[in-house]
Structure 1
Amino acid sequence: MSALKVAASPRQQARAQLDTRTGHLTPAERAARGAQARAEVPRESHADFTVPASRPDPITLLEEQAKARVPELVPVRWGRMMVSPFTYYRGAALPMASDLATTPVSGLTVQACGDAHLSNFGVFGSAERNLVFDVNDFDETLPGPWEWDVKRLAASMEVAARSNGFSDKQRRKIVAGTVAGYRQAMRDFAGMSQLGIWYARADIDQLRAQLESKMDDRQRKLVAKSAAKARTRDSMEELGKLTTTVDGQLRIMADPPLLVPIEDLLADPSQRSALESEIHSIMSKYRRTLATDRRYLIDQYEFVHMARKVVGVGSVGTRCWIVLMLGRDESDPLFLQVKEAEESVLSRFLGASEFANMGQRVVAGQRLMQASSDIFLGWHRVAAGLDGKQRDFYVRQLRDWKFSLDVDAMVPGGMRMYGEVCGWTLARAHARSGDAIAIAAYLGGSDVFDQAIAQFADAYADQNERDHEAVLEAVKAGRIVAEQGL
């Protein structure tokens, strides 16, 4: 149960797999597994982050990753990563995965998010039309060590808290509180039935009631305002923000290079027609991955227009389209996002996914980790696109009451509560696929693990700052080209 070894190729590394034997063990046997793991890999060992002499250059890793991206968008990605150590951190999932592969692990596997930083949690609408809080980014999901997600989340809290100018003591409380939220939640889930874990979710109204005593008036108003704002963020709102009428027809507006309608992207009519046919094919064939009732629902909508969209930080440069569809009339819009799915950044260290289609990998991981997933979530493979290359995509709604809190506006107390909720949410996501009893036994009832991870997060934030500075120097030296302000 020592540190994982970095493989030369995803195909050469033994695949990390979820443990399907858990249900055949007694609770006592499962707890014993956790106790044995703790004896072999002490909780205190997670505090260390020592940079190995053979550490791969993070810029080189990111340059390699960019080779498969849309060339003209790569400078936008570098520009976004330059803004601050936190924006760099958001885009550096691959370098951190490389670093995490040198750290101790307990050997207890879960469906890992792979990029569980604090901005990849948020609010969205469930199929039952409740507001829920959950992990909301699964581009890197893969079975793997639960510790990697915890460390990615904890370090993001430290990096964000530094960016907000919080003191050492405030930052320590935030990070330790985040990890304690995970540890305590996992202990609770260890006492629940499998169905109880499966049905658990962070309903916003329930969260507000639980946190009410910890919030001041300003925080209560902020949460209420955020919940109200989330309910307005749907396809109808996007219709007003993103579209205009041209010759009596709805069209997505241009905001290059972040949003480029298909007719502006491809001047050649034959290329434009081919790309439209490709997207039409995705939309018609991906429906087979939906449940029967949802196939019927999506069939009630017709394609209207499409545009290429730049999203996030780490995803910039992947092929991403937004598709406008209409139902009964213009008051019944549906915006879908068709996003390219690449191999997970974890795969070179944990082995290739069991799914040959990377869109299916993303969707399967999301459905396993989320308490309630998008009703239009599905996947498709394009055998040969305009560039002749095979590409995998997944499809989801562009907006469905989605909302994320403004990290830069958080005060120490608010960030600490947010971290605790993120910790609870991550534990619930892991408990669905992993052995909650064994993990809880490993973590124990004291704050030993919490403090160890807080120490790790502090050390990793130092390294993150050095890596961010290296990007700035690389741009200055002309090694990489960055386009800022986008």
Structure 2
Amino acid sequence: MASGPTARERAERGRALRSEVPRSRHAEFTPAPDRADPVDIVERQSALRVPELVPLRYGRMLESPFRFYRGAAAIMAADLATTPSTGLRAQLCGDAHLLNFRLLASPERHLMFDINDFDETLPGPWEWDVKRLAASFAIAARQNGFSEPERAGIVRAAGASYREQMRRYAQMRTLDVWYAHADMAEVEAEEAQELGARGRAGLARVIEDAHGHDTLQAFRKLTRRSGGQVRIASDPPLIVPLHDLLPGPEGDRLAGTLSDLIASYGRSLRADHRRLLEQYRVVDLARKVVGVGSVGTRCWILLLLGRDDDDPLLLQAKEAGESVLAPYAGASRHRNQGARVVDGQRLMQAASDIFLGWQRTTGVDGRPRDFYVRQLRDWKGIMPADEMVPVGMRRFAVRCGATLARAHARSGDRIAIGAYLGSGTVFDEALAQFAERYADQNARDHQALVEAVRSGRVRAEAG
């Protein structure tokens, strides 16, 4: 016997929410009177990270307001908690800025467009992801020198795409929603009709580059042969082999711990993928600096070999802490933060890496730490935001908005959300206003970090 509200009741609930939380209110953003110092928030995060890498994080965030924004998910999480919300929840990315949408390989070796980064994933109000995405476009467009009308048009396009796609998902069968994905062969055909010659050439280049960014390419770039053995090449401070980082018994113990991590994390994989992993052996490992917001988290790349030295697999084991959303959206149901990341990724992505899994291990300091593991590089391609022209960024915003709607529709009430958003442009217009207001706030926060470095309060290093 069926249970729960019907589709009609869910749609009625969504429409009723327009009275409680008018769609125009999503334009609102005013810093709270007791808003925390943004540098304090970043410093509290840094206190949990590898101390010698923290200045690199600040150095990257200093480069521009957009780079700062990429590292400021914790700051925005606190701000989003003060904005209007319908109370409708979905699994969130938690850091849905535009550079976290990219090309990825499916297990069937198809190139797809999807969300990539799930370090902050957690169930929460669907609006938070949409607003973080919208603000990222406003900030990136400012950096590229776009006019205010151009910026507003880009953000409205992202909002309209999310809204319209969510309404389509509301009408689809549940299995059809689950199977939906963005195959890049289809995307390229669609975009060819909208983009000019320059845009088409740029998209073709990104697709070609993605096909080349695979395990073998990473293997050639990141390793060298020494004494007849293949080892990860040193490139300090970005990549430091363990034997350089911790020579002697301490390094040997950590090497054993990380090798055990790879062996035991296989229990979080599907049985056939676990059997595949068992055909490889760990031969070397190194600490790697990644991203902007993630700089300073404990991240290791591990070189595994299968049949021989020409049969490599490169895995990344990345520390997983509590989501920045947790103080405002509620703690994760997972005791292991790596499991939180992996489950969120599997729920939101159309298809996930076959080696994606998690495990807990004990560091050299004796503290238990949660990690998630995935392939280091598997047909990953990214659209360079600083090379986009207005029409290209607008098309990219459309693609990101639709992708985020698909990800939310898998876990949230797509019928209620779609009914709330409606067929008009009220939400799109509000989103554009919010994005500009938050871009102003982000610029002020970036300047606060600039002043903190200038005064000596924090130390920054380029790199």
TM-score surpassing 0.5? yes
Aligned length: 462
Q: Name the CA distance, whole Å, in 1 between partners of 2:92 and 2:15.
A: 22
Determine if the alignment matches structure 1 residue 330 to structure 2 residue 309: yes
Distance in 2 separating the partners of 1:280 and 1:460: 44
Which of 372, 376, 386 is equivalent to 1:394? Answer: 372
**Alignment match of 2:246 (pick from 266, 270, 283):** 266
Q: What letter matches 1:385 in structure 2?
A: G
TM-score, normalised by the number of residues in structure 2? 0.99
Query: Secondary structure of 1:38's match?
Result: helix
2:195 maps to what in 1? 215
Deviations 1:189-230 (A, max 9, x none): 011011000000011011112222111111112212211211
| Secondary structure at the counterpart of residue 193 of structure 2 | helix
| RMSD of Structure 2 on Structure 1 (CA) | 0.9
Alpha-carbon distance, 1:302 to partner: 1.1
* 2:25 matches 1:45: yes
1:437 to 391, 415, 436: 415
What is the correspondence of 1:127-146 to structure 2 with a 5 Å cutoff?
A: 127-146=107-126
Deviates most, 269-278 or 353-362 = 269-278
Would you say the 8 A contact 1:360–1:378 is kept in 2? Answer: yes
1:67 to 2:43 alignment: no
Letter in 2 for 1:474: A
Q: Distance in 2 between matches of 1:350 and 1:136?
A: 21
Corresponding letter in the other structure for 1:428:
R
- Residue in structure 1 matched with residue 443 of structure 2 by the alignment: 465
Shift in Å, 1:24: 2.5
Q: Distance in 2 between matches of 1:218 and 1:329?
A: 43
Query: Structure 1, residues 333-355: CA drift from partner, whole Å, max 9, x if none?
Result: 11000000000000011111000
In the TM superposition, residue 409 of structure 1 has moved relative to its aligned partner by: 0.5
Within 5 Å, which residues of 2 pair with 1:245-264? 245-264=225-244
Structure 1 residue 330 displacement after superposition: 2.3
Deviates more, 1:104-113 or 1:326-335: 326-335
| Contact kept in structure 2, 1:30 and 1:438, CA below 8 Å | yes
- Correspondence for 1:191: 171
State the shift of 1:413 in Å.
0.4
Higher mean C-alpha deviation, range 83-92 or range 172-181: 172-181
Displacement, 1:260?
0.3
Query: Which of residues 339, 345, 350 in structure 2 aligns to 1:371?
Result: 350
Report the counterpart of residue 7 of structure 1 in structure 2: none
State how far apart, in whole Å, the 2-side matches of 1:339 and 1:43 are. 38
Contact 1:112 1:142 in 2 (8 A): yes
- Residue equivalent to 2:35: 55
| 1:148 matches 2:135 | no
2:419 alignment partner AA: A
Paired position in structure 2 for 1:90: 70
* Cα 1:23–1:111 shift into 2, 3 Å: farther
| Match in the other structure for 1:410 | 388
Task: State percent identity of aligned pairs.
Answer: 57
Residue in structure 2 matched with residue 311 of structure 1 by the alignment: 290
**TM-score of the superposition, structure 1-length normalised?**
0.94
**Aligned mate of 1:296, from 275, 291, 301:** 275
Contact 2:191 2:200 in 1 (8 A): no
Shift of 1:38: 1.3
- For 2:193, give the aligned amino acid: S
Pick aligned residue for 1:448 from 426, 438, 449: 426
What is the CA–CA distance in structure 2 between the aligned matches of 1:208 and 1:188, rounded to whole Å?
21
Uncovered stretches (5+) of structure 1, i.e. residues with no partner? 1-21
The alpha carbon displacement at 1:23 in A equals 6.9
